Structure 1
Amino acid sequence: MVATHSCKVLTARAILSRLHIFFHALAILALFYYRFTSLFTTTSSLARLTWALLVIAELILTFIWGFAQGFRWRSVLRDVSGWESIKPHQLPGLDVFIVTADPTKEPVLEVMNSVISAMALDYPPDKLAVYLSDDGGSPLTKEAIREAFQVAKLWIPFCNKYGIKTRIPEFFFSPSCDRERLDWDHDYKAQELLIKSKYEALKKNIEKGSGDTSKCRMVHDRAPYVEIVNDNKQDGESEAVLPLLVYVAREKRPSHPHRFKAGALNALLRVSSLMSNGSYILILDCDMYCNDPTSARQSMCFHLDPNMSPSLAFVLYPQTFYNASRSNDIYDGQARSATKTKWQAMDGLRGPVMTGTGYYLKRKALFGRPNREDEFLTSQPEKAFGSSTKFIDSLHHNSKQNIELKQMNKDELLEEARRLATCTYESNTLWGDKIGFSYECLLESTFTGYLLHCRGWKSVYLNPTRPCFLGVTTIDMKDTMVQLVKWTSGLLGVGISKYSPITYAMSRMSVLQSMCYAYLTLSGLFGFPFVIYGIVVPMCSLKGIPVFPKISDPWIAPFVVVFVSSLVQHLYEVLSGGDSVRTWWNEVRIWFVKGVGACLFGSIEAIMKKMGKQKTTFRLTNKVVEKEKLDNYEKGKFDLQGADMFMVPVGILVTLNLLGFIGCLYRVIIYHNYQELFAQLFLSFFLLVLSRSIIESIAKKVLFF
């Protein structure tokens, strides 16, 4: 069997989506016709002000909705087959980059499971290298990776011998994996017990070290440190060849900018070019495990296709989260809309965005444009790549799959690697600009992927039945909001910069692809119309000022159609993807909460940064899964601990709408003017029903404070 890939256009979805776009757009046009004609005929100055505010809110919503239609134009579904037939000599070199920054927020045991699972990929070990960037410089992480390698020495041969699919030790030894732990024979059982004892010892030592402040700490002022934990050489006849394993803690000084995760990835780019120089790179978050060992081979079905490879930058896999509830994901932590709808849609255009983890990237794509990857090497490469002649020489020889370590002795190699990991190496070069991962945005992968698309590169999206990567998602309100504030601030910062998809991308990619990126960068603005509607409608209800047509007026139809059409289209999207009505309701509810909370704060932060009133700050998402929070999440209970700031606007709007609903109901009963106020009464009622669980959680927090 030959390794192949297929692409199926979801024609039925595309036709229905285009018909809905046309139908919905007509309703929006009718709505605005009514709004503008009524706005100029209103005599009351107060009524005119309220209508003007609502028109602004509706224009923003329409603006964002228009960009979102790029996701609905042409969705595709890809599949691969025959990857098992790819011979080892046909496979290119592969480097795996794993980045961690804080041992208190990113549990070291999870990091080690990521490292071990990456080393256990179904890939020739002499062509596989794993690099761990410890941006916190923690002594505990350094010790742990040495001990984790001792586990890997037993674990990887065991997985290969018995065809183990779950190559994450923590999962394999858990009760959920009992089906895979079969009693093959006495030798199997003996090896399993030996590996388990080694892994339990690793866990115990990490837990002990996590309580030691001298080990579980971050060092922010340090020299560069590079250690080859495994040198990819066979020590004896009985020893199996294992992938290269390297620990990197780049130099950090308070007086020099370190560029956060992008800076760490660029340091790994340079160090890895010197040591293994894999043609392709797998980027992983420190909590993202390799759940399917064949993912690398599957991605090569695309990368090795001569018709696709010259312009293909990366193959993206969906982020799947093992702690996300399948039936009641109250925080929408699994990002269903992105993984099941948006990325498929962008794949039908020029390709999906480059999310922060789980993608196989062509190394050369970070150094130039398609068919012009060496454009910065032809003249004065030192100005682009820095002064290391050995590093530049590795770029000239990038077509070779590996640079043997024996070309330099170990001391020389480590000395040069440390030089490449210094904080001054990038000075007066193109790193972070036209070379490597971009420093323009804190969401380094997303923005770098956007630039790659602007330069002419393409990408593909592959979503196999078995999740290739498993990670941890947020399971409380605080972490959910903090994460979304970071995303909103970073993306909107791009949307209002010189790199805005509305201006910068329109001439560099298709209009539909630009619309998709415009939606991603500007969707954080949802918070402003939510706040306007959440204040104006109940206040007008209390004053008895109608802001919608009478229920008997034919002009109420466009408002009803827009409202119902949006909900029905979203419901269809959820159900057609195999999810439930509960999932749809959870997404609508958290969409409102996130919009009023995180999106509003993130948008304000982005605007303040643009005005120079606020400095760029990096927020690391907490990856620690606490049992109490997990229990509340699985029961469908909102955990608001630490989220007070984000809940303030939510609480204010809910309170206003409760008062507006009561006042509106009073006027309907006493004055019988339900014709004029019915729409406002319904909107406030819908918001209260939508927020019922949030109201209960806020009430409990206040009562037990």
Structure 2
Amino acid sequence: MEPNMGRAVLLNSKQDVDINGKLFMPNLVYFSREKSKTTPHHFKAGALNALLRVSGIMTNAPIILTLDCDMYSNDPSTLERVLCYLSDKFRKPNCGYVQFPQRFHGLNKADIYASEHKRLFLANPSGMDGLFGPSYVGTGCFFHRRVFFGGPSAYIEPEIPALSPSNIVDKPINSEQTLNLAHHVSGCNCENKTNWGSKMGFRYGSLVEDYYSGFRLQCEGWHSIFCNPSRPAFLGDVPINLIDVLSQNKRWSIGLLEVGFSKFSPLTFGIRAMGILMGQSYAHYAFWPVWFFPITTYAILPSLALLNAIPIFPEVYEPWFFLYIFLFIGAYGQDCLDFILYEGTFVRWWSDQRMWLIRGLSSYLFGSIEYISNCLGVPSHGFNVTSKVMDDDQSKRYDQGIFEFGVSSPLFVPLIIAAILNLVAFLGGILHIFKERSLDNFFIQILIAGFGVLNSLPLYEAMVLRSDKGRIPIKTTITSTTLTGVLYAISYFILKT
């Protein structure tokens, strides 16, 4: 077989059993699709479509499960739940898939990287379940094969009749005819001039193929069900260093913006197809990265103004001051309450809001920049899979709740700049209080800087106090400190002239 051709490891479920000689093994154990330098692979969606076609040729089973490679089944009764949902035509007659929340094992006590994503995996799907159903999150999801071939009343016949969801496979998986056809449909040229990726299968056009595919399926009329049993159906690993977390979120940001500003935007196409509530639900995800603008503004501008002794917020005794305090306490209080109501803890909520700020200054910012550069035709980095490899030293630090940096990355630079600015501004504001004996003019700016300092404690520790391999590299610290000085000099020149 040629080096770039697809490969598969096959077992016969009617003959092959496990090492104990009791349990039959599955038919298809491993599959690697064909690669080509000239044909785009559409990343994960392309691999899923290849698997969808190969499984259709070999078994054409009506139910399909998608799982990330690091996840495993944690509840043997999961399939019974799914069959009850999918076979009930009265509850949701157009039910296309059942989505389980993504859950993880091995989280440290504080969940320092906010890997639970309670809003994404629990709170928001619960609300959407009262409408058309939750979005597809890429793993822990059971599909009707039929949903990948057009809407409930708009069936699309595949170019190869054997791939029809109604086709009955009557040949063994190891027969020559089956293997030849499976090899053909796994090829990277099989989709040329077909509906695959546009009207059939998992959809192309976004790095977040799960979000986009689920959105398009629901726009076509399919509904979904959110199933959240007390015992997690599936468990997976979490990234244990910050660069992997931020890189993953940057990729999500690019993909979400690709959908948000496309002709299939949830604000236009989605609202017309599903109504304003479902459209807004998907738009909430699509425009997540836009949060980089207010987060970056509040992380830097108030501190720069404070360092230049320029008040930009109302004084303590002005009526508008109480509005700012009310909005701050109300927003964070509601966010904390929502988090705890979904079986969270205060410590993990603090990590969650801190990571939201960190993502805004790094992943959302760089993701938005890369999306804009892609739109302008400027080449960018390709798809990167998040590493889940467990290094012993990293694992130990993660279990202790210590942030893992370890490498030089531009993603860290805005974080360090904001941390230094907020610290210097906060200390300068405290000195101003003792000197002027007044909080009137700069109270809100000092409050914002102090809040930034509290959230930046892991950064200060990694820059100054730590000597392990997970600390922030000195080169990154020096670069960021220099840029902070340049930023202050520019602000001084602008604000004082």
| Superposed pair shares fold, TM > 0.5 | yes
**1:444 pairs with 2:232:** no
- Paired AA for residue 279 in structure 1: P
Q: Is 2:358 aligned against 1:593?
A: yes
Q: Check 1:615–1:435 CA distance in 2 against 1; reply closer, same or farther (3 A cut).
A: farther
1:665 counterpart residue number: 430
1:210-248: CA deviation from partner (whole Å, max 9, x where unpaired) = xxxxxxxxx9x512334432243589xx87654323432
Write out the 4+ residue segments of structure 1 that deviate beyond 6 Å after TM superposition.
Answer: none
* Counterpart Cα distance in 1 of 2:455 and 2:368: 24
> Of 436, 442, 449, which aligns to 1:677?
442
Indicate the SS of the match to 1:658: helix
The 2-side partners of 1:227 and 1:534 are apart by 52
Match of 1:489 among 254, 265, 283: 254
Hey, what's the Cα distance between the residues in 1 that align with 2:473 and 2:23? 61
Is residue 405 from structure 1 mapped to residue 171 from structure 2 by the alignment?
yes
Deviation at 1:271, TM superposition (A): 1.3
* 2:111 is aligned with 1:329: yes
Residues 229 and 247 in structure 1, CA contact (< 8 A), matched pair in contact too: no
Matched, 1:340 2:109: no
Partner of residue 430, structure 1: 195
Please name the residue that 1:198 is paired with: none
d(CA) in 2 for partners of 1:438, 1:477: 30
Q: What's the secondary structure of 2:440's corresponding residue?
A: helix
AA aligned to 1:334 is E
Work out the CA distance in 1 between the residues paired with 2:31 and 2:16: 23
Indicate the residue corresponding to 2:491 in structure 1: none
Looking at structure 2, the residues matched to 437 and 622 of structure 1 have their Cα atoms a distance apart, in angstroms, of 24
Q: Conserved in 2, the CA contact under 8 Å of 1:493 and 1:610?
A: no
Partner SS state of residue 662, structure 1 = helix
Q: CA deviation at 1:465?
A: 1.2
On the 8 A contact 2:408/2:472 being kept in 1, the answer is no
In structure 2, what is the Cα distance between the partners aligned to 1:600 and 1:703?
21
What is the TM-score of this pair, normalised by structure 2?
Answer: 0.89
**Structure 2: any 5+ residue segments left out of the alignment?**
476-497
Deviation per residue, 1:462-497 (Å, 9 max, x gap): 111111111111111111111111111111221122
Q: Is the 8 A contact 1:350 1:513 kept in 2?
A: yes
1:340-489 alignment to 2 at 5 Å? 340-372=122-154, 374=155, 376-377=156-157, 385-386=158-159, 388=160, 392-395=161-164, 397-398=166-167, 403-406=169-172, 410-489=175-254
Which of 311, 324, 349 is the matching residue for 1:546?
Answer: 311
Instruction: Specify the SS of the correspondent of 1:281.
Output: strand
* Structure 1 Cα separation of the partners of residues 336 and 288 of structure 2: 20
Query: How far apart, in 2, do the equivalents of 1:242 and 1:310 lie?
Result: 33
CA distance, structure 2, for counterparts of residue 448 and residue 572 of structure 1: 32
- Alpha-carbon distance between aligned partners in 2 of 1:317 and 1:270, rounded to the nearest angstrom: 24
User: Distance in 1 between the 2:302 and 2:375 partners?
Assistant: 31
* Residue correspondence of structure 1 range 203-222 to structure 2 within 5 A: 221-222=3-4
- Give the TM-score normalised by the residue count of structure 1: 0.63
Aligned to 1:511: 276
1:527 to 280, 292, 301: 292
C-alpha contact 1:608 1:614 (8 A) present in aligned 2: yes
1:510-546 CA-to-partner distances (Å, cap 9, x unmatched) read 2121112111111111112122222211121122221
Aligned to 1:316: 99
Name the CA distance, whole Å, in 2 between partners of 1:330 and 1:702: 17
Answering whether residue 418 of structure 2 is matched by residue 635 of structure 1, we say no
Over 3 Å counting, the alpha-carbon distance change for 1:703 and 1:354 in structure 2 is: closer
Partner Cα separation in structure 1 for residue 249 and residue 16 of structure 2: 46
Q: 2:382 and 2:150 mapped to 1: Cα distance?
A: 29
Q: Quote how far apart the aligned CAs of 1:501 are.
A: 1.0
3-state SS in 2 of match to 1:639? coil
Q: Paired residue for 2:89, among 284, 306, 319? A: 306
Could you report, residue by residue, the CA deviation over 1:335-366 in whole angstroms, capped at 9, with x for unpaired residues?
Answer: 22222311111112211110111100111111
The counterpart of 1:262, out of the listed 31, 42, 45, is 45
Bigger drift between 601-610 and 426-435 goes to 601-610
Aligned to 1:559: 324
Q: What per-residue deviation string (whole Å, max 9, x for no partner) do you get for residues 129-155 of structure 1?
A: xxxxxxxx9xxxxxxxxxxxxxxxxxx
* Alignment pair present for 1:228 and 2:20: no
Q: 1:239 to 1:338 in 2, by over 3 A?
A: closer
Name the SS for the 1:459 alignment partner: strand
Q: Is the 8 A contact 2:419 2:459 kept in 1?
A: no
Deviation for aligned residue 1:669: 2.8
Q: Per-residue CA shift, 1:44-94, capped at 9, x if unaligned?
A: xxxxxxxxxxxxxxxxxxxxxxxxxxxxxxxxxxxxxxxxxxxxxxxxxxx
Tell me if the contact between 1:535 and 1:656 (Cα under 8 Å) persists in the aligned partners: yes
- CA–CA separation in structure 2 for the residues paired with 1:544 and 1:403: 76
Give the drift of 1:441: 0.9
Distance 2:16 2:299 in 1: 67
Equivalent position of 1:10 in the other structure: none
Bigger-Rg structure (1/2): 1
Q: Given that residues 405 and 472 in structure 2 are in contact (C-alpha distance below 8 angstroms), is that contact kept between their aligned partners in structure 1?
A: no
Q: Once the 2 structures are TM-superposed, how far is the Cα of residue 671 of structure 1 from its aligned partner?
A: 3.1
5+ residue gaps in structure 1?
1-136, 138-218, 378-384
User: Deviation per CA, 1:314-346, whole angstroms, max 9, x where unpaired?
Assistant: 100111111212x31000112222223111111
Q: Which residue identity is paired with 2:267?
A: I
The structure-2 alpha-carbon separation of the partners of 1:419 and 1:493, relative to structure 1 and needing over 3 Å to count, comes to same
Change in 2 beyond 3 A, CA 1:525/1:643: farther
1:113-134 Cα shifts (integer Å, max 9, x gaps)? xxxxxxxxxxxxxxxxxxxxxx
**CA distance 1:281–1:552, shift in 2 (3 Å):** same
Task: Describe the shift of the 1:556–1:361 C-alpha distance in structure 2 as closer, same or farther (beyond 3 A).
Answer: same
The 1:409–1:605 alpha-carbon spacing in structure 2 relative to 1, beyond 3 Å, is closer
Deviations along 1:558-581, one digit per CA (max 9) or x if unpaired, are 111110001100111122222211
Q: For this pair of structures, how many residues does the alignment match?
A: 467
SS for the counterpart of 1:555 is helix
Post-superposition CA distance 1:559-608 (Å, at most 9, x none): 11110001100111122222211111111211111211111111111121
Separation of aligned partners in 2, 1:460 and 1:702: 43
- Judged with a 3 Å threshold, the aligned counterparts in structure 2 of structure 1 residues 451 and 370 are, in CA distance, closer, same or farther, namely same
Change (3 A) 1:234 1:564: closer
For the Cα contact (< 8 Å) 1:226–1:418, is it kept in 2?
A: no
In the superposition, relative to structure 1, how do residues 624 and 396 fare at CA in structure 2: closer, same or farther (>3 Å)? closer
Give the Cα–Cα distance (whole angstroms) in 2 for the partners of residues 335 and 517 of structure 1: 16
* Alignment check: 8 A CA contact 1:527 1:596 kept: yes
